Amino acid sequence: MKVAERLEKIGVAAYCPARMEMRQRSDRKEKICVPLLPSIVLVNIDEREKSKVFDVQGVVRYLYWLEQPAKVSVDEVLTLKEVTEGKNSDALVLLTEWKEFRSPDFEEIRTQLKTPVIFDGRSQYNTFSLEKKGFEYYQIGKK
């Protein structure tokens, strides 16, 4: 994410998709921003200026696909931003038991959903506590 900031400073449109994650330190919990695609920053740059990115510390190379620099359309980037920022989401669907999803910030999640609905495929959360917070909560696979 530092590379994306450095690119922006020199006038290159850059985007590093990220998510917030809670990390347990020895004395506290800390919310940190973690890249979704480690070691990848998306840039929007004119073909004639593509060498400009190498002026930034941390840039190593372009990602290639079929012997050409990989291209991501503007629509794909906008969709990625929409998904990672949680905007316009109809519901939260949980399909993993990863520890970072065990105790999310439900108040923050609630503000980002059109309707506060959670479908939990891992039966990880307490129905009563989520309903008390104003969520519709469905445990998939439970009767």
Task: Note whether 39 and 62 are same-domain residues.
Answer: yes
What total of structural domains would you count in the chain?
2
Task: Note whether 54 and 80 are same-domain residues.
Answer: yes
| pLDDT tens digits, 27-68 | 888 888 888 888 889 999 988 998 999 999 999 999 998 998
- The pLDDT of residue 59 is 93
119 closest CA partner among 137, 107, 102, 142: 137
Boundary of a domain, candidates 42, 59, 85: 85
Task: Note whether 45 and 5 are same-domain residues.
Answer: yes
Measure the CA–CA gap between 20 and 22, rounded to whole angstroms.
7
Task: Note whether 111 and 137 are same-domain residues.
Answer: yes
- The pLDDT of residue 8 is 92
Task: Note whether 100 and 67 are same-domain residues.
Answer: no
Task: Note whether 106 and 68 are same-domain residues.
Answer: no
Question: Please, which residues have CB within 8 angstroms of residue 1's CB and are 6 or more apart in sequence?
Answer: 16, 18, 33, 35
Residue 87 pLDDT > 70, yes or no? no
What letter represents residue 121's amino acid?
A: G
Task: Note whether 43 and 110 are same-domain residues.
Answer: no
Residue 133 pLDDT > 70, yes or no? yes
User: Residue 102 — pLDDT band, cuts 50, 70, 90?
Assistant: confident
Task: Note whether 2 and 55 are same-domain residues.
Answer: yes
